[in-house]
């Protein structure tokens, strides 16, 4: 019985994370200050990568190489070193959106190498930033537990 309760509790935490409903309609995710800083730093890196890609769309080979490097730097290698304790506190949907962005950054880097048009690359970015906006509309970080 204890094993079953433990498995259910861990499953609940994995799916729901350490969250409560916020007063502004968003889900509040409880993180320690250092954990919050780490996640926000990652978000800033993602934004810088998007900027690097957009800036590189001028079309010169050097600019496109820089765009590819910016996208690749924000890919799955960036997500690989995320602290498991932080991941446990994040709700499943948040984790899924975050991982999909990292996967799409790798796909974007591949698309740049394959010389997709600027319009196609911008469409990829638009899809990604739409998910960023949705995530920011759904979640906020609260004072840690």
Encode pLDDT of 51-62 as tens digits: 999 999 877 778
pLDDT of residue 137: 95
pLDDT of residue 107: 98
pLDDT of residue 143: 74
Q: How far apart are CA 43 and CA 101, in angstroms?
A: 11
Residue spans per domain, the chain: 2-143
Contact of 89 with 97, CB cutoff 8 Å: no
Q: How far is CA 96 from the centre of its chain?
A: 8
pLDDT of residue 6: 53
Interacting residues of 19 by C-beta distance below 8 A, sequence separation 6+ = 27, 28, 29, 30, 91
Q: Residues 122-133, buried b or exposed e (16+ Cβ, 10 A)?
A: eebbeebeeebe
pLDDT of residue 101: 96
Q: Which fold has domain 2-143?
A: 1.20.120
Angstrom CA distances, 41 to 35, 36, 62, 82, stand at 10, 8, 27, 12
pTM score of the predicted model: 0.84
pLDDT of residue 41: 92
Encode pLDDT of 118-138 as tens digits: 999 999 999 999 999 999 999
pLDDT of residue 8: 47
List, for the chain, all residue ranges whose pLDDT scores fall below the cut of 50: 8-9, 12
């Amino acid at each position: 019985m204890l094993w079953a309760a433990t498995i259910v509790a861990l499953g609940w935490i994995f799916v729901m994370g350490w969250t409560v409903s916020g007063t502004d309609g968003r889900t509040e995710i409880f993180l320690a200050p250092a954990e919050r800083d780490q996640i926000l730093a990652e978000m800033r890196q993602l934004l810088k990568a998007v900027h690097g890609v957009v800036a590189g769309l001028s079309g010169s080979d050097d600019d496109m190489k820089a765009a590819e490097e910016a996208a690749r730097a924000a890919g799955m290698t960036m997500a690989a070193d995320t602290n498991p304790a932080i991941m446990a506190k994040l709700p499943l949907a948040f984790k899924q959106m975050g991982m999909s962005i990292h996967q799409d950054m790798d796909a974007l880097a591949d698309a740049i190498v394959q010389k997709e048009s600027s319009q196609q690359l911008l469409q990829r970015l638009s899809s990604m930033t739409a998910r960023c906006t949705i995530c920011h509309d759904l979640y906020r970080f609260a004072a840690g537990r």
